[in-house]
Amino acid sequence: MKEESAKRYALLLAARDSEYVIKMYNGYFNVFVQAFGDDGENWDLFRVVEGEFPKLEDLHKYDGFVISGSPYDAYANDHWILRLCFLIQKLDAMQKRVLGICFGHQVLCRALGGRVGKARTGWDIGVRKVIMAESLFQCRFLDELGEFPPSAKILECHQDEVLEVPLGAEVLAFSDKAGVEMFCMGDHILGIQGHPEYTKDILSNLIDRLTSKELLDRDFGSDVKAQLEADDAERDFWEKLCKSFLKGI
């Protein structure tokens, strides 16, 4: 019997590693692999924010792709963002599984015909309760997860949002801050506005960096960090959901 080859995934990194993440995790790549990877898999890193993309002739070699968060706007016209939109369209045509996180969620929406812009209610940072829509329970690629909770908490950090999903997409979750916290297209595209890969310390350090650059009000940042100490995101649920989607298990 022919031995099944190891699954292969690609992280399309749309952010540069912070000093903190390098020190504590040796880069965001390891954060994602720890969250979504399993033993025996191969994971490749492409720093798309720096113009590093997989070759089109190699796309068929991958079982799935993950697009990370980013400080950039998904609706901007930087060359690398436009190139990423083209790649997403190619992967969609190939029916490759693509998971988008935060910026990745938004750029998936843009590339496939939806609309993205500034969040109507401003920054959303901290622990957010996400409500599951009825459509989530009909997703075949999540069958193995069994029963779903009616809601689940997730770490968030964004000031942009999906305003309108692409034609044919299904809204899978929402919150009191965003109408589209999660969406899918068929069985191969999944976008999540929150950060299932984040740990509290990563978000806390990011808040410190945003306040030091005066991109975030210091008092607001302090309040969010206090909330982080008092509340917990349900990382296990979100990691299991992402793995189930990526691996079809």
Q: Is the CB of residue 181 less than 8 Å from the CB of residue 152?
A: no
Amino acid at 236: D
**How far apart, in whole angstroms, are the C-alpha atoms of residue 236 and residue 35?**
9
Q: How many Å apart are CA 203 and CA 69, to the nearest integer?
A: 12
Spatial contact of 58 and 24, defined as CB atoms under 8 Å apart: no
Q: In the chain, which ranges are E strands? A: 8-12, 42-46, 64-67, 97-101, 115-118, 124-132, 151-158, 160-164, 170-174, 182-185, 189-192
Among 33, 39, 37, 118, residue whose Cα is nearest residue 74: 118
Catalytic residues: 102, 195, 197
The CA R_g of the chain, rounded to the nearest whole Å, is 17
Is the sign of the CA dihedral 129, 237, 139, 86 positive or negative?
A: positive
**DSSP readout, 48-99?**
GGGT----GGGGGG-SEEEE---SS-TT---HHHHHHHHHHHHHHHTT-EEE
